[in-house]
Structure 1
Amino acid sequence: MNQTIQRRLYKLYSSSSRSSFGLRNRISSLGWIVVCGLPLCAFMASMYPRDTFFQLLGVVSAVCIAAFVSVLLRKAQLKVRRLLPRHASVGRPLEYTVEYTNLAKRGLNNFYMLDLAPDPTPSMDVFLHATEPGEEKRNAFDRFFLAYRWNWLKSRFLLMKSKLFLANSVGGEKCGKVRVELLPLRRGVIHLQNMRVVLPDALGLFQRVKRVDQEEDILIVLPKRYRMDSFDFAGQARSQVGGDSSTSTQGQSGEFVSLREYRPGDPPKHIHWPSWGRTGKPILKEYEEMFFPRYGLVLDTAVRAEQEEVFEELVSVAATLTSEMDTDQSLIDVMFIQQGAKVQTVGKNVERVEAMLELLASVEIDPVADWAALKNAVLKHADDLTTCFLVFGDWDDERENFLQSLSSFGISLVVLVVQDEENPVKLNSDYTEITLLNVGEIEQGLASIHL
């Protein structure tokens, strides 16, 4: 299609979207009934000139004029501050407090607070070059006007949903609080800077929407996570004396056992200084060694653009596995391709799980797959790994070779492949222990895994 036409369509959709958004927030449901009833009354009065229709037209017109003048007289000067947590999770409503200060000398009552999502309008470049999944199957009319592509892109870029919350009345130059709620729709970073005060007229037909004085707040939306009550990670410390685990070790740790004389080569940090002072000889604290398992988790980011839903489930599976591991008794190396091989380690004495979840909140599809670099990153820790989880979103020769390379080094592997039932993955592998997880049934699939 001629890009000139597509550019004009983009401008048309953008302007109509802004107009629709403005009207939707400025006219209430009752207001729409009255506004739509006004031309109907005018039509009936012109077609059937009876006193009843003229009286009805006069009443509806008077109500509309009174409500319109009333809403124009409403004013507000507010300054707000959000008391936000650092994190939210996809699909879980988040409640938080908004503190507001009335900067005007007059009191303010009967008003609402609305925290708008960042504008989901795609850029023109994205609109021109993106392709809606299944767009080639649509009829010629839909492919020409691209309305479905526009709606799909808008839904993709909509990060959250919010609604009106009635605030408490506040006196002049006084402060108040209100609890509001938003629903994160996608993982990532949300920049909140669109808080509005909504001022309805006395009749509840029209609303004046004004921006309030505010600072930008940042909310990190973590990936969706699933329950894994029955999952048991191999090598994890369980009811053992000293909490030790006979698996790969990372660092020296343990419980205090006894004191003994210092021997050359012992770490100076374990010297017991009070005993040295009493005896005149260096005395060392002796510890019982403790062992902590170390896990690897490989996240497949090299999926096709049209597999966005599958990719989101891949990230959710990785976030679930990371959250379920006992990081007080283990280490986790999450490895993926993002403009090269990336490795992030969390666990005992390293990083907290929140750091990993924040990283997964921002990971994106990387179609350029450097499987060799990823394999080297895994093999670098191969001797320390108890188990390595491979979370794939597709299957081909490159993934098969990657799997066989790791298997040949004797690494214990758990292979998970996420698939869309409409486009199932065609497995062609000699490795038999592969678990398929279907989109929409991830939690049930994870519950079936046993190590």
Structure 2
Amino acid sequence: MRRRVQNRLYRLYRFGSKASFELGQRITPFGWMVIIGCPFIGFVTAMYPRDTLFRLLAIYFAVIGVALIGAWLRRAKIRVRRYLPRYATVGERLEYTVRYENLTRFVLRNFYLNELAPDPIPSRELFLHSTEPGEELRNTFDQTFVAYRWMWMIRRRLLLKSEAVLAEPVGGKMSGTVRVSFLPIRRGVIQLERMRVVLPDPLGCFQRSWRVEQEKDTVIVLPKRYRFAGFQIDGESRSQLGGDSSSSVAGQSGEFVSLREYRPGDPPKHIHWPSWGKTGKPIIKEYEDVFFPRYGLVLDTVVKAEMERVFEEAISIAATFASSVDTEQSLLDLMFVQQGAQVHTVGKNVERVDKMLEVLAGLDMETSPEWDELVKMVLKHAEAMTTCIVVLCSLDEERVEFLERLAASGVSLSVLLVVDEGAEGHGGESAGSVRVTRVSVHQVEAGLEQLSGARSS
């Protein structure tokens, strides 16, 4: 019975959301004031018939009529092309250039370009099978009509906020450029294909909103990153056994040391031909093997739905660490659970750190417990790692056991526990024999500063 009611409510909520959006695109704030004021003036005029009130009411009707006709008469046909950067960052306004072309023969004036967010309305299946965090605590009425679930899903799926930008007048078959911007509010991949041209009426009450000819463009919104002074990570580049070497060249590689005579078995590609020509015998270039330290970054993705804010901050903290590690002289392994345990490596001659940030941008919460797979993978890589940074969203016996096993493998550990508490939630605690730093979602930078100071000392 409840599912049948919610199925009908989906159609109602969907229609209401679309109607509200379209009205917002076609009626300005001043127009809403005029529309609301008209019946009010009409009621006052009916109660107190006065010539002044009748004239005022007539003016209201005239303004609405002129504005409606003025908006209806406006037309535009525009083609746009965006010149976008590949990446954006959550919370940082993205600016880019848009080239627009007037496809008509008439001069186009007083118009705006508005980059709309992808449609946040969820599908019927997603709406019916999703649950708002804490929905089971609501009363029977709210659980049946699920209005709060709808608002939560719309808010969660809204990827950006934008404002219309006034463009310069353009003649028939002519083109122009304008700087457009929007604010990404969620990480992930944004498909831009809903830009509109906004044509207000002369009085500023109503406006036409037309879709423009455009190509689908994509922007990858990276997780928010915090200011972090960094700390001295154990393990420096060293020329001795025990590290992990990485090279794009097959065979021996490293720093050039000296020249020596050829020995049987030396690779021909290391022959120094100018010296052979001078001495009359083969000379080999001798190299010193260079090894690079390998770091691990473990991210806890096995999170309950109601801990979404904690998970998002954990993603941002992981992105902050990934950006602060010098991957030009080291390797960094990002390990997490996402439909099975996964590892992504960046560093010298492997991948750029941007690739890891892209992976973090696309991560989602993993509600099915596959923690054992992650533990096995991390311990397998522990022999090659000098330091491992672990970002946790919760702390239980299973995770404590994992930390103790990882510490016993000889890896230097830095463990952060992200908590949804106030500033007083900062501090350290012990998880078995491992020191854990608590970081509040409300004071992330303060928690990172505490970690930086602790490691530096």
Deviates more, 1:225-234 or 1:111-120: 225-234
State the shift of 1:232 in Å. 2.5
The alignment's C-alpha RMSD in Å is 2.2
State the shift of 1:215 in Å. 0.2
State the shift of 1:59 in Å. 1.2
| Matched-pair contact (CA < 8 Å) for 2:76–2:108 | yes
Give the 3-state SS of the residue equivalent to 2:391 in structure 1: strand
Give the 3-state SS of the residue equivalent to 2:19 in structure 1: helix
- Matches of 2:276 and 2:374, distance apart in 1: 50
Pick from 418, 426, 437: which aligns with 1:435?
A: 437
- Matches of 1:97 and 1:44, distance apart in 2: 50
State the shift of 1:440 in Å. 1.6
| Matched-pair contact (CA < 8 Å) for 1:235–1:247 | no
Matched AA of 1:279: T
**Match for residue 377 of structure 1?**
377
Describe how 1:77-156 pairs up with structure 2 within 5 A.
Answer: 77-156=77-156
**Match for residue 397 of structure 2?**
397
- Matches of 2:228 and 2:108, distance apart in 1: 49
**Match for residue 245 of structure 2?**
250
**Deviation string, structure 1 residues 92-147 (Cα, Å, up to 9, x no partner):** 11111111011111110100000000011122222223222233333444333322
| Matched-pair contact (CA < 8 Å) for 2:429–2:438 | no
Describe how 1:412-423 pairs up with structure 2 within 5 A.
Answer: 412-421=412-421
Pair 1:183 & 2:178 matched = no
Percent identity over paired residues: 55
Give the 3-state SS of the residue equivalent to 1:381 in structure 2: helix
- Matches of 2:343 and 2:184, distance apart in 1: 27
State the shift of 1:437 in Å. 1.2
**Match for residue 9 of structure 1?**
9
When residues 427 and 141 of structure 1 are mapped into structure 2, their CA distance, relative to the original with a 3 A threshold, is farther
**Match for residue 283 of structure 2?**
283
**Match for residue 445 of structure 1?**
447
**Match for residue 201 of structure 1?**
201
When residues 427 and 124 of structure 1 are mapped into structure 2, their CA distance, relative to the original with a 3 A threshold, is farther
**Match for residue 173 of structure 2?**
173
- Matches of 1:275 and 1:368, distance apart in 2: 64
Give the 3-state SS of the residue equivalent to 1:435 in structure 2: strand
When residues 154 and 235 of structure 1 are mapped into structure 2, their CA distance, relative to the original with a 3 A threshold, is same
| Matched-pair contact (CA < 8 Å) for 1:337–1:369 | no
**Deviation string, structure 1 residues 187-220 (Cα, Å, up to 9, x no partner):** 1000000000000011111110000000000000
| Matched-pair contact (CA < 8 Å) for 2:429–2:435 | no
- Matches of 1:277 and 1:413, distance apart in 2: 54
Deviates more, 1:152-161 or 1:404-413: 404-413
State the shift of 1:286 in Å. 2.1
When residues 15 and 307 of structure 1 are mapped into structure 2, their CA distance, relative to the original with a 3 A threshold, is same
Deviates more, 1:406-415 or 1:253-262: 253-262
| Matched-pair contact (CA < 8 Å) for 2:234–2:386 | yes
State the shift of 1:282 in Å. 2.6
| Matched-pair contact (CA < 8 Å) for 2:429–2:436 | no
| Matched-pair contact (CA < 8 Å) for 2:299–2:390 | yes
| Matched-pair contact (CA < 8 Å) for 2:403–2:434 | no
When residues 427 and 445 of structure 1 are mapped into structure 2, their CA distance, relative to the original with a 3 A threshold, is closer
State the shift of 1:277 in Å. 3.6
Query: Structure 2 length normalisation: TM-score?
Result: 0.92
State the shift of 1:244 in Å. 6.7
**Unpaired stretches in structure 1, ≥5 consecutive residues:** 238-242
Pair 1:292 & 2:322 matched = no
Give the 3-state SS of the residue equivalent to 1:235 in structure 2: coil
| Matched-pair contact (CA < 8 Å) for 1:245–1:293 | no
Matched AA of 2:378: V
**Deviation string, structure 1 residues 207-265 (Cα, Å, up to 9, x no partner):** 1000000000000000111111142322246xxxxx87997232365432321122234
- Matches of 2:265 and 2:53, distance apart in 1: 103
**Match for residue 343 of structure 1?**
343
| Matched-pair contact (CA < 8 Å) for 1:340–1:370 | yes
Give the 3-state SS of the residue equivalent to 1:17 in structure 2: helix
Matched AA of 1:387: T
Give the 3-state SS of the residue equivalent to 1:197 in structure 2: strand
| Matched-pair contact (CA < 8 Å) for 2:113–2:166 | yes
State the shift of 1:430 in Å. 1.3
Give the 3-state SS of the residue equivalent to 1:448 in structure 2: helix
When residues 245 and 43 of structure 1 are mapped into structure 2, their CA distance, relative to the original with a 3 A threshold, is farther
| Matched-pair contact (CA < 8 Å) for 1:388–1:413 | yes
**Match for residue 240 of structure 1?**
none
Give the 3-state SS of the residue equivalent to 2:434 in structure 1: coil
**Deviation string, structure 1 residues 305-328 (Cα, Å, up to 9, x no partner):** 211111111111111111000111
Give the 3-state SS of the residue equivalent to 2:333 in structure 1: strand
**Match for residue 328 of structure 1?**
328
Matched AA of 2:116: L
Matched AA of 1:339: Q
| Matched-pair contact (CA < 8 Å) for 2:327–2:353 | yes
- Matches of 2:267 and 2:170, distance apart in 1: 65
- Matches of 1:182 and 1:11, distance apart in 2: 30
Give the 3-state SS of the residue equivalent to 1:100 in structure 2: strand
When residues 87 and 59 of structure 1 are mapped into structure 2, their CA distance, relative to the original with a 3 A threshold, is same
**Unpaired stretches in structure 2, ≥5 consecutive residues:** 247-251
When residues 54 and 429 of structure 1 are mapped into structure 2, their CA distance, relative to the original with a 3 A threshold, is same
Deviates more, 1:190-199 or 1:394-403: 394-403
- Matches of 1:333 and 1:80, distance apart in 2: 41
| Matched-pair contact (CA < 8 Å) for 2:28–2:206 | yes
Aligned residues: 445
When residues 322 and 245 of structure 1 are mapped into structure 2, their CA distance, relative to the original with a 3 A threshold, is farther
| Matched-pair contact (CA < 8 Å) for 1:249–1:384 | yes
When residues 106 and 245 of structure 1 are mapped into structure 2, their CA distance, relative to the original with a 3 A threshold, is farther
State the shift of 1:293 in Å. 1.4
- Matches of 2:265 and 2:121, distance apart in 1: 65
Matched AA of 1:344: H
